[in-house]
Amino acid sequence: MTIPMWMLLGFATWTLLLLMATVGVYRWVRILFSNVPIASFRCDQLEGEDWYRRGIRAHANCVENLPVFGAIVLVISTLGIDDPAVSYLSVIVLIARVCQSLVHVSHVQTNTFVAVRFAFFFVQLACFLALIVIAACYGV
């Protein structure tokens, strides 16, 4: 398996771990220890503590970006691109994603923390675009 594939697997793993550590913990603790009905968590209502709502959004951010990274890795893998820049950019994507999620979940979202979170997101976008350019240039 190539480094971009490992990073894609890491991204997917992080998405699941984030879900379990935030949304899962919050809901299961309430279901098992507070006698809250399992059907009481509605997707169309804003509810729960602030960190729980941030966990939901952080997980959704991962889910929204995972297919983008997956498509890029698929093209890179299909073209057989084995370039150190591709490996570095892929590693940076995963590191920036984990950092973005951690900043999102672990801190109240002041202007400073939102700016830091956006910086990590911007790094991912820049890496995505660089990987797309590399794939497009290679495919020509």
Residue 43 lies in a domain: no
* Residues 68-87: tens digit of each pLDDT: 999 999 999 999 999 999 99
Q: What is the 3-state secondary structure (H, E, C) of 42-110?
A: CCCCCCCCHHHHHHHHHHHHHHHHHHHHHHHHHHHHHHCCCCHHHHHHHHHHHHHHHHHHHHHHHCCCC
Residue 79 lies in a domain: yes
More confident residue, 26 or 115: 115
- Tally of structural domains, the chain: 1
Residue 12 lies in a domain: yes
Enclosing domain of residue 60: 3-38+49-139
More confident residue, 68 or 52: 68
- CA–CA separation, 6 and 21 (whole Å): 22
- CA–CA separation, 31 and 36 (whole Å): 5
CATH number, domain at 76? 1.20.120.550
pTM of the model: 0.90
The answer to whether residue 39 scores a pLDDT higher than 80 is no
Residue 66 lies in a domain: yes
For residue 115, give the amino acid letter.
Answer: A
